Amino acid sequence: MSDSFRTVGCAAVGELEEKRSRFIASLAPVQNEEQAIEHIDRIKSENRKARHNVYAYILRDGNTSRYSDDGEPQGTGGVPVLETLRGAGLTDVCVVVTRYFGGILLGTGGLARAYSGACKAAVDNAHIMEICRCSRFDFDCSYELYGRISALIPGFGAKVLREDFSDSVSMSVIVKSELTGSFVRDLTNAANGKISFDETADLFEDFS
């Protein structure tokens, strides 16, 4: 499994109008095919009067991707939408692009541009997350050592989850997996070897 991936943090919508046809893209984070199908069914149910509900989804689970033209000419809906998601580098996402027909035919090229354009609008409106494999380090330190550690953290792009101040400082810090070895080395050196910590590995966290 990859050490990092891009996805969306929450649902987002993008809309495009082309020759009186409305294209409404509903983008959502999903983790498996069941969630993707639930999203597709929900959007279809909410847009029963729409002419088409084209969809595409990409999942890390099983390295899966699916799409549907939903009655549009082959290759004019699902593929452009799927390629837009891929072009944005997204995974664990599902998008449904609903078309309300405006009475004017767009042709195959026009349809492909409209569907991909609506999908891109939703992607542009979404909160994109950079999810990275990481480790969490939990430890206690003196106030003197806290100053040294605080100076180390920015250089590793680490995130401080918790700081509790009492007689000493109790901290939780997350570090990207590829940097944990260097972080442990520098942390140990800063404390002259007089620090103990608990490491929880193989977590995933948003570092965007």
| Pair (198, 136) in one structural domain | yes
The amino acid sitting at 117 is G
The pTM of the whole model exceeds 0.85: no
Domains held by the chain: number: 2
| Pair (93, 137) in one structural domain | no
DSSP string, 99-144: EE--SS--HHHHHHHHHHHHHHHHHHHS-EEEEEEEEEEEEEE-HH
Query: For residue 145, which of 198, 175, 186 has the smallest C-alpha distance?
Result: 186
Label residue 31 by pLDDT band (50, 70, 90).
Answer: very high
Residue 2 clears pLDDT 70, i.e. is over it:
no
What letter would DSSP give residue 145? Answer: H
Between CA 203 and CA 159, with CA 161 as vertex, the angle to 5 degrees is: 75
| Pair (121, 136) in one structural domain | no
Give residue 106's pLDDT.
Answer: 80
Q: How much is the mean pLDDT over the chain?
A: 93
Chain segment 56-92, per-residue pLDDT in tens: 999 998 899 999 999 999 999 999 999 999 999 999 9
Query: For residue 184, which of 151, 156, 147 has the smallest C-alpha distance?
Result: 156
| Pair (34, 110) in one structural domain | yes
| Pair (93, 150) in one structural domain | no
- Residue 32 sits in a domain of what CATH number? 3.30.230.30
Chain segment 117-149, per-residue pLDDT in tens: 999 999 999 999 999 999 999 999 999 899 989
Determine the structural domain holding residue 63 and report its residue range: 4-126
| Pair (86, 103) in one structural domain | yes
| Pair (177, 96) in one structural domain | no
Residue position matching structure tokens 């580098």: 89
What percent of the chain stands above pLDDT 70?
Answer: 99
Q: How far apart are CA 74 and CA 201, in angstroms?
A: 45
Q: Is 198 helix (H, G, I), strand (E, B) or coil?
A: strand
Contact status, residue 31 vs residue 92, Cβ threshold 8 Å: yes
Give residue 139's pLDDT.
Answer: 95
Q: How far apart are CA 11 and CA 35, in angstroms?
A: 13
| Pair (120, 136) in one structural domain | no
The torsion region of residue 151 among left (phi > 0), alpha (psi -120 to 50) and beta comes to alpha
